[in-house]
Amino acid sequence: MATDKRQNSDSMALSVLIVDDDESVRETLVEFFETFGHTARGAASASEGRRLAQEHAPDVVLLDLRLPDANGLHALEALRADDPDVAVIVLTGYADVGTAVRAMKIGAADVMEKPVDLEALSAAVTRAAERSKLRQEVAILRARTRTDDDTAVATAFDPTLEQLIDLAARNPEAPVLLQGETGTGKGYVARQIHERSARRAAPFVEINCASLSTTFFESELFGHERGAFTDARQAKRGLLEVAGGGSVFLDEIAEMSADVQPRFLKVLEERTFRRLGGTTVLRANARVIVATHQPLGDAVAQRRFRADLFYRLQVLTLTIPPLRTRPDDIMSLARAFLPRGASLHPSAEPELRAYAWPGNVRELKNTIWRAAILADGTPIHDAHLGLAAPTATPRAPEPPPTPMVQPLATVEQDAIRRALHATGDNRTRAADLLGIARSTLLEKIKRYDI
């Protein structure tokens, strides 16, 4: 039995905080949890417990209801207010039904009577931590916006790429590099690799390397300690911790700051990291999947990307072909993207097949959505598609009108207006079409008063 418990604890190392004014209880519990590979800390009062929780962001707090400086239920409210994700197990030597009900209403994960059975307590801590991590995973999944229709994209990958996805899934320790133009479905492939692997039961989390400043990117990926930077009022777990034994997907890896690249390389080589502003070494158990729309070799040649990091990432490389090289997939995707009740007129097919689709699957989806709105319940004709270039090979540009060169701001404003018009003023999709972060688009809209 002891061996089984040790193996279970190793699979999910936790940070546990024991808040109890009885020194012997604190020491016993700290020693007990450290034996199984967890990080354990003790606090003798509610105020000390709250301070340690803010500094270290524990996964689970064991909270005695009778403390010298505060009522335990008030301490529970304060801990949950500081960190709604923390799991709190109430320990009391004076348990009654009313107290247990009040504690559970405030947000306690469990209520256990002292003296506690250590084996039962260990199981309760594991359950509480798993529920907390599951809530975090659900929140991340709900917050994530998927720009590609996963079911539709699944029908458009050829057998060779499917085999490579399965190969990557069968090797869940190796990092994966996904290459392909913007809009080809790299995010979908990353999720498929995760969901087909032995890591599928753990979280899949993602971050865009181009969307945040260096400090906030590091905070999102590695987490931070209280006071690590301005506004860091309490400790925060990063995505590497949240993912646990799951997968971390880093999109636009070529845009990763040069300051962050050495730290990320260490994660890949040593499987360890520290939170921003922290000293405790944490274990990185997650599988790393990265994606880029630009050749990483070019970024290395331009000294924008570390060569050693590049070589470490290309253990498994999957290249997703652009839509213009897969004309047979265009119609199956177009039909899959049709809103409920919409249909395609035969005149639409030649236009769809002939167009070059520079925005790939994402552009095709937006085009079908827009055309369905314009068709207003009738079959979508070629005129509804609004495709300017009816040939799969892009035409040579026409001689520009005078003046020969337009101001950059004018070109940028025109591109933004076109993207907003093409997406029905959906700013998230417009930013995708333009290949910039949504925050960047919002800033430019404000600057140009569009």
- The tokens describing 367, both together, are 């085009």
**pLDDT number for residue 295:** 87
Residues in the chain: 450
**Residues of the chain scoring pLDDT < 70:** 1-12, 94-96, 135-158, 388-408, 411, 433
Task: Give yes or no: residues 299 and 165 share one domain.
Answer: yes
Task: Give yes or no: residues 31 and 120 share one domain.
Answer: yes
Task: Give yes or no: residues 184 and 285 share one domain.
Answer: yes
What's the domain range around 301?
150-319
Segment (H or E) for 446: helix 438-448
Domain containing 440 — which CATH number? Answer: 1.10.10.60
**pLDDT number for residue 308:** 92
- Count of structural domains, the chain: 4
Domain end call among 117, 142, 167: 142
**pLDDT number for residue 100:** 77
**pLDDT number for residue 424:** 73
Residues 273-303 pLDDT 10s:
999 888 888 989 999 999 999 888 888 988 8
Whole-angstrom distance, CA of residue 34 vs CA of residue 15: 10
Domain containing 294 — which CATH number? Answer: 3.40.50.300
Task: Give yes or no: residues 346 and 408 share one domain.
Answer: no
Phi, psi of 282 (to 5 degrees): -110, 150
Task: Give yes or no: residues 191 and 308 share one domain.
Answer: yes
Residues 258-279 pLDDT 10s:
999 999 999 999 999 999 888 8
DSSP code for 380: B
Q: Are 421 and 413 in contact (CB under 8 A)?
A: no
Domain containing 28 — which CATH number? Answer: 3.40.50.2300
Task: Give yes or no: residues 220 and 282 share one domain.
Answer: yes
**pLDDT number for residue 269:** 92
Domain end call among 142, 162, 183: 142
Task: Give yes or no: residues 35 and 155 share one domain.
Answer: no
**pLDDT number for residue 221:** 92
Task: Give yes or no: residues 155 and 126 share one domain.
Answer: no
User: Which residues touch 96 (CB under 8 Å, ≥6 apart)?
Assistant: none
**pLDDT number for residue 270:** 92
CA distances from 401 to 234, 389, 394, 395, 416 (A): 57, 20, 20, 17, 21
What are the residues facing 224 on neighbouring strands?
236, 276
Task: Give yes or no: residues 258 and 405 share one domain.
Answer: no
Task: Give yes or no: residues 199 and 286 share one domain.
Answer: yes
CA end-to-end distance (rounded Å), the chain: 67
Domain end call among 111, 142, 173: 142
